[in-house]
Structure 1
Amino acid sequence: MHRLFSILFVLPVVNLAVVGCANFQDRELNPIESVAHLEQRTLSNPELLSFIGTVIEGGTVTPPKTWNLDRLTLAAIYYHPDLALARAQAQSADAAIKTAAQRPNPSITISPTWIRNLATAAIPWIAASSISIPIETAGKRDFRIDKSKHLADAARLRIADAAWLIRGRLRLAMLEAYSAKEAEHLVLQQLSIQQAMNQRLEQQLAIGEISQLEVTRSHLAVNQLKLNENAARKRVAESKVLLAAAIGVPVDGLTGLELDFSDLSKPPALQTVPVTKLKEQALLTRPDVLAALADYAAAQSALQLEIANQYPNIQANPGYTWEMGEHRWTLGATMQLPILHQNQGLIAEAEAKRQELAVRFEALQMRIVGDIDRAHSGVTAVLAKWSDAEKQIQLQQQNLSSVQAQFQAGETDRLALLGAELEKAVTERAQLDVLVETQQALNGLEDTLRQPIASTLTNASIADSATRKPPQ
């Protein structure tokens, strides 16, 4: 009898000991160390350069002389916290597949009983034990696995979509940096011309050719341009901060960096973009569209799971009892009786959720259609605007050339020449604004189509690099 009790108590202990268990590892989150790590981020990081090299540089790991939009896009994919978060969420979704695939553990019950006032001389113990073995029915485990796999697919697709959103913000930040730099240059040019005009007017005032009012107006124009110069410098500084944030590095990480604005300094060939074809492709293959389809597939599996839950699981309960020298074996089973309900509530919720995701998918497609149509119409308008701006700059150049010829022939004075130069500089500033609008239109198209238009990167390279880069 003693041996029997030993076996009954030792077996569960041995079972727990031999089963492999995960060990907890404490990982502290230290905000001071985290800040120090973030502040050390630079674009000269060898691991970053190797990452960029594997995508577009043919394996080169030397720092590039200049950084264009494509290189900065890969730097943002490497560093940006939004993408790191999307990867972490995808890892969580992958881990959920393992949870869904787990089978329920059996359980053991041991209930030794001691009889205190036993009338006979028999051993006053009753040894009883039973095992509960859960048996899932109706394919519930398969439906759980399918649901988790679809959710994991959706999470992975959202990594690529997050990369596109990051690229869009980066492109706008890059455009702002270019626009701020060029605007500062044009303001300085206007200020130089206005100061030269102011000096000439003061000379004319000194000899009595003009009134004080004209000189005062010139002084006011100079002061206004100085204010514009300060605003332009502030904008340049702020654009660097915006660009650094779009990449995911501190602004000091851009120190000494030479940016390549060649792709932004000229209007893109938007009229050659096959918008209609790309629109059809976007409605079917955009990462967020595919992610929404995966969410719907997960809802389908969730509904199948709840329908399967109508059928109760079975609990097999074999047992053994030793009593008064008798060995008693029992076979039992437990099953929930679906009398009060047949899981109609959860089935209705799952079905409503599936319908909600179907409506969300259609709404997403409708929003994409509207965004693409709006971006396309904006392209048409901005191309016409750019054409007018080019005509205006040509007219101003012709006017300046004419005034220069008159000045060289002695038919006009230097003040008129400076006035023509100032008018041309003002026109160039207006043309810069139109150029920025054309680049913004290109950015809108890329964002809505999820398609690189003026880029060496492809959809595949963006998605692959975003997915395979490990979290920071």
Structure 2
Amino acid sequence: MRRALLFVFIALAGLAGCATYHPQPIAPDQLARQFEQRSLGSEELHAWIAREADRDVSPWPPAAWNRELLTLAAYYYSPALDLARAQWGTAKAGIDVANAIPNPVLQLPFQYNTPNPGPGAPFTWGPSLDIPIETAHKRGYRVDQASHQSEAARLNIITAAWTVSAQVRDAMLALYAARTRIAFLSAKAEAQRQITVMSRRRLAVGQYSQPDFDAAVLADTQAQSDLAAARSAEEDARAQLAAAIGVPVAALDSVTLDLSAFGTVPPAPPAADGQRAAIFHRADLRASLAEYAAAESALQLEVAKQYPDLHLGPGYTYDTGTNKIAFGLAGITLPIFDQNQGGIRQAEAKRQEAAVRTGALQDRILGDLAHALTRYESSTAALVISDAHLASARRQLDSQAAALSTGNADRLTYTQAKADYQTSEAAHLDAEVAVQQAAGALEDAIQSPLTRGPVSHTLSEGATR
């Protein structure tokens, strides 16, 4: 009887260490308020950037936000990175699940006997345990599989971080292009407005025909329309940048952005260096390799399942006056009809699928890299031609200015030359943006910036807000 009570006491003691549930409800209105309160000047963001950049950013907030600082702010606020970190936490918890030792099963049978066959009370009862013992290193293979999946989830954080960084880069480039275009188009619109005024005067004194005046008005309205479109593009780019960072658009109202880096052309890496960086640096390829290693461990686990586990069954039984202590095996599965061949074949197929997926990803990466290098080379060559064209347009404008000063050209001709020059400036901007977009595609192919700023783009995978 005392042995039976001891068994029950041990079981209850084990239940005393169970975890408890703590509810964490989500309130949509609270989430909306938290989003609206996000700011690029918060002290929490300051401390986080100082920790991630391993240096203090002083003064705070900075006088101008460049790509590196905005990228770090996006790392802090981005919900995509929060999700990637949470998924890594789930994967790490899977290691503990895989490493858990199977719990014994407490059995409490009870039987009333009539008629009573023994000398004691007419009961048969007593606790017993079913203690499972895994064989063939099954738990180790489960832990290996979970560890590889955790590593893949950790690498997915780096992939998500690069995606966020690329979104910030693209939004800043769009904003740079829009603001530069506004400057050009504002000058052109002013020139076209002056041309319209001068054309109206000449029409009034008979020095201009109606078709010539109508053409000037048409060019004026087109310039105003282009300027309005550029201003709309600027607002869209600001919204795109705010979304990439994870802050409301109003958070950018009092912020000065440093977009000067987009006015320079970064050098492209040699093709061999780019290929090496794409193969060994890209986190998504390394994550795919980790997924393949997890598939390998899963196959090893399925092979190990051919070997049955043991079940020890110690226990105590009071049998109508007789005390019985049991030792031995509670059960063992005999692999007669099923030797887990189906599970093994499925695991082999999944391993092959993982191998094909990894190979396909590598081929796509190398193809994207080759295309990005070709695109970058062609866009830089086009920029050289555009530089020459802009220089020629500048000389022509200077020539018209000189002719105006000497009286060999009138103000209408000079103003038209200014408008034409702004058109050349806008075309040159298109060539600059094309180079920057090609550089961005090259960065995406190797998942690394072509130029490194004072703040590193490396994100601590476990960093949280």
User: Do they superpose with TM above 0.5?
Assistant: yes
Helix, strand or coil: the match of 1:170? helix
Helix, strand or coil: the match of 1:468? coil
- Please list the CA deviations of residues 35-71 of structure 1 after superposition, one character each: whole Å capped at 9, or x if unmatched: 1111111111111122222344722352110011111
Would you say 1:329 and 2:331 are equivalent positions? no
Match of 2:283 in 1: 287
- Please list the CA deviations of residues 203-255 of structure 1 after superposition, one character each: whole Å capped at 9, or x if unmatched: 21222111122111111111122222222221111111111011111111111
Would you say 1:157 and 2:155 are equivalent positions? yes
Match of 1:193 in 2: 191
Match of 2:390 in 1: 393
User: Identity over the aligned pairs, expressed in percent?
Assistant: 37
- Please list the CA deviations of residues 254-287 of structure 1 after superposition, one character each: whole Å capped at 9, or x if unmatched: 11111101101233334xx223212113212311
Would you say 1:462 and 2:457 are equivalent positions? yes
| 1:128 shift after superposition | 2.9
Question: 2:142–2:301: 8 Å Cα contact kept in structure 1?
Answer: yes
Helix, strand or coil: the match of 2:459? helix
Q: Residues 317 and 205 from structure 1, CA distance in 2 versus in 1: closer, same or farther, beyond 3 angstroms?
A: same
* More moved, 380-389 vs 226-235: 226-235
Match of 1:249 in 2: 247
Q: Residues 275 and 184 from structure 1, CA distance in 2 versus in 1: closer, same or farther, beyond 3 angstroms?
A: same
Match of 1:231 in 2: 229
Q: Match of 2:277, as an amino acid?
A: Q
TM-score, normalising length: structure 1: 0.94
- Please list the CA deviations of residues 404-448 of structure 1 after superposition, one character each: whole Å capped at 9, or x if unmatched: 111111111111111111111000000011100111111111111
Q: Residues 8 and 268 from structure 1, CA distance in 2 versus in 1: closer, same or farther, beyond 3 angstroms?
A: closer
Q: Report 1:193-212 matches (<5 A).
A: 193-212=191-210
TM-score, normalising length: structure 2: 0.95
Q: Report 1:13-32 matches (<5 A).
A: 14-18=12-16, 20-32=17-29
Would you say 1:437 and 2:434 are equivalent positions? yes
Question: 1:138–1:311: 8 Å Cα contact kept in structure 2?
Answer: yes
* More moved, 225-234 vs 86-95: 225-234
Question: 1:160–1:462: 8 Å Cα contact kept in structure 2?
Answer: no
Question: 1:130–1:317: 8 Å Cα contact kept in structure 2?
Answer: yes
* More moved, 89-98 vs 46-55: 46-55
* More moved, 381-390 vs 217-226: 217-226
Helix, strand or coil: the match of 2:318? strand
Helix, strand or coil: the match of 1:342? coil
Would you say 1:277 and 2:273 are equivalent positions? yes
Question: 1:54–1:60: 8 Å Cα contact kept in structure 2?
Answer: no
Q: Match of 1:73, as an amino acid?
A: T
- Please list the CA deviations of residues 326-347 of structure 1 after superposition, one character each: whole Å capped at 9, or x if unmatched: 2222223111111111001111
Distance (whole Å) between structure 2 residues aligned to residue 464 and residue 200 of structure 1? 59
Q: Residues 119 and 193 from structure 1, CA distance in 2 versus in 1: closer, same or farther, beyond 3 angstroms?
A: closer
Match of 2:174 in 1: 176
Distance (whole Å) between structure 2 residues aligned to residue 435 and residue 219 of structure 1? 30
Structure 2: gaps of 5 or more residues: none
Question: 1:407–1:417: 8 Å Cα contact kept in structure 2?
Answer: yes
Q: Match of 2:309, as an amino acid?
A: N
Q: Residues 134 and 4 from structure 1, CA distance in 2 versus in 1: closer, same or farther, beyond 3 angstroms?
A: closer
Among 66, 69, 72, the residue aligned to 2:67: 69
The aligned length equals 463
Would you say 1:363 and 2:360 are equivalent positions? yes
Among 126, 129, 137, the residue aligned to 1:128: 126
Distance (whole Å) between structure 2 residues aligned to residue 203 and residue 281 of structure 1? 64
Among 416, 421, 428, the residue aligned to 2:418: 421
Q: Residues 417 and 312 from structure 1, CA distance in 2 versus in 1: closer, same or farther, beyond 3 angstroms?
A: same
Q: Residues 8 and 125 from structure 1, CA distance in 2 versus in 1: closer, same or farther, beyond 3 angstroms?
A: farther
Q: Match of 1:350, as an amino acid?
A: A
